[in-house]
Amino acid sequence: MSHLRVVADNTATASAPKSDPESASVVDDSLPLNEILQGDCVDLMNSLPEGSVDLIFADPPYNLQLGGDLSRPDNSVVDGVTESWDQYDSMDAYDLFTHDWLQAARRLLKPDGAIWVMGSYHNIFRVGTVLQDQKFWIQNDIIWRKTNPMPNFRGTRFTNAHETLIWATKSEDARPTFHYDAMKMMNDGVQMRSDWTLPICTGHERLKTEGGGKAHPTQKPESLLHRVILSTSNPGDVILDPFFGTGTTGAVAKKLGRHFIGLEREADYIAHARKRIAKVRPAGTEAIKITRSKRSEPRVPFATLVERGLIDIGTKLFSAKGNLTAKVRADGSLACDDGFEGSIHKVGAHLTDAPSCNGWTFWHTMNKDGLTPIDAIRTQIRAEMAQA
């Protein structure tokens, strides 16, 4: 192949399930799995074999067209997106760019593959139009509601508090992977809606430069990718990200036992992504199994704690006396040693042979201080949910 393999990170390959018997996906051996390729994403995509990718996640430049500096009421200056990769001469130039990369993406996808593209009002209407013009079939538009967006400092508009994702297939007839029951489980027993409330990427998750600044101006939260990948791909699938940046897609794909292919132009971003992904520990094959049958309901979604990383996938939970245990799975369900699986409540009831059980008070996490009920963690999130 003509492209340069900058990174060869095969740790995910080792632990990824070969194939899920219920959703076996054929992986092309010639693919540069779990690598980051440096270069123009259209060229790189065209160098890869046709119909070889299960899922594409793309966070393309938004073409923000920002004016001069923007300062906060306290006179501090907002660090805007001024990178050259977000600059286009005209809307036509942006449309052409969009057309080209989407066409290359379309070629790569398997017939029942799917693509996610995200954006803001600056670009998402262009993207959606090009997708439809290229005969992609929109399955949903998804709203990422940010719990903590940047305010509108001048009081001139509504707070721009969301971004939009489009989930589409290559055709109307395509039958994309969609884990309906897993999503329902994650959403407290009711259907997952088209609006997702998640915080932006801050704190330790946000990659920093040596100088302490942002490594990437638009790093996406892993919780967002968690939901995308869990809902519309299977373990062992190949997920391609043509605008890889600092590798959120790769990190979550590795964690969830999927293969990734990252395309990125900037060497700096690639270096950050490489280090980041190397640190990721894949969840075990049991942990990433998800609910395939209908389950009943916890009152507040335990999955939120998992999705937001407050409880890691695979974490062992304990009963108050510590004698009963279960492991946390990716969709917020639990699995215990005898093979029983279900919600935190169901599993608690099963192990105690009781008709019902409040999983929130039954289950505990173990740390150096001893056992902590998971309800304590829920309390944290509740404050956010109440406002959101």
Partner DNA sequence: ACTCTACCTGAATCAGGCA
Partner DNA sequence: TTGCCTGATTCAGGTAGAG
Q: Which of 121, 209, 286, 296 binds its own copies (CB under 8 A)?
A: 121
What are 309's two structure tokens? Answer: 């990383």
Cross-strand pairs, 317: 326
Report the site for its own copies in 42-61 (rule: CB under 8 A).
none
Window contacting its own copies (CB under 8 A); options: 110-118, 145-153, 234-242, 337-345: 145-153
Single out the residue of 140, 285, 319, 325 in contact with its own copies (rule: CB under 8 A): 140
337 sits near its own copies (criterion: CB under 8 A): no
For residues 269 and 246, the answer to whether their CB atoms sit within 8 Å is yes
Residue 43 backbone phi and psi in degrees, to 5: -60, -45
Q: In sequence order, which ranges of 235-337 are alpha helices (DSSP H)?
A: 248-255, 267-279, 303-307
The reply to whether 299 sits near its own copies by the rule CB under 8 A is no
The rounded distance, in Å, linking the Cα atoms of 349 and 131 is: 48
Binder of residue 310, out of its own copies, DNA, none (CB less than 5 to 8 A by kind): none
Choose the one of its own copies, DNA, none that binds residue 129, judging by a C-beta under 5 to 8 angstroms depending on kind.
its own copies
Partner whose footprint covers residue 96, from DNA, its own copies, none (CB < 5 to 8 Å by kind): its own copies
Secondary structure of residue 259 in the 3-state scheme: strand
Instruction: Give me the least distance between CB of 277 and its own copies, in Å please.
Output: 28
Please report how the helices 124-133 and 91-108 are oriented relative to each other, as an axis angle in degrees rounded to 10.
50
Q: How is residue 68 annotated by DSSP?
A: S
Bridge partners, residue 342, by sequence:
334
| Residues 6+ away with beta carbon under 8 Å from 254 | 11, 12, 34, 260, 277, 280, 282
* Residue 174 in contact with its own copies, rule: CB under 8 A: no
Closer residue to DNA, CB minimum distance, 30 or 160: 160
Size of the site for its own copies (CB under 8 A): 65
Q: Least distance from C-beta 182 to its own copies, angstroms?
A: 11
Q: Which does 60 bind (CB under 5 to 8 A by kind): its own copies, DNA, none?
A: DNA
Binders in 75-114 for its own copies, by CB under 8 A: 75, 78-79, 81-82, 84-85, 87-88, 91-92, 95-96, 99
Q: Of these, 43, 50, 83, 195, which contacts its own copies (CB under 8 A)? A: 195
Do β-strands 109-119 and 162-169 pair in parallel, antiparallel, or remain unpaired? antiparallel
* Alpha helices (runs of H) in 29-90, residue ranges in sequence order: 41-46
Handedness of CA 165, 80, 226, 381 (dihedral sign): negative
How many CB atoms are closer than 10 A to CB 198? 21
CA distance 7 to 267: 11
Shortest distance, CB of residue 1 to DNA, whole angstroms? 27
- Contact, 296 vs 189, CB < 8 A? yes
The smaller minimum CB distance to DNA, of residues 16 and 347, is found at 347
Quick one: which segment of 50-58, 159-167, 268-276, 368-376 binds its own copies (CB under 8 A)? 159-167
10 vs 132, beta carbon nearer DNA: 132
Residues at the contact surface with its own copies, assessed by CB under 8 A = 71, 75, 78-79, 81-82, 84-85, 87-88, 91-92, 95-96, 99, 120-122, 124-129, 131-135, 138-143, 145, 149, 151-152, 155-162, 164, 166-167, 178, 180-181, 183, 191-195, 231, 293, 354-357
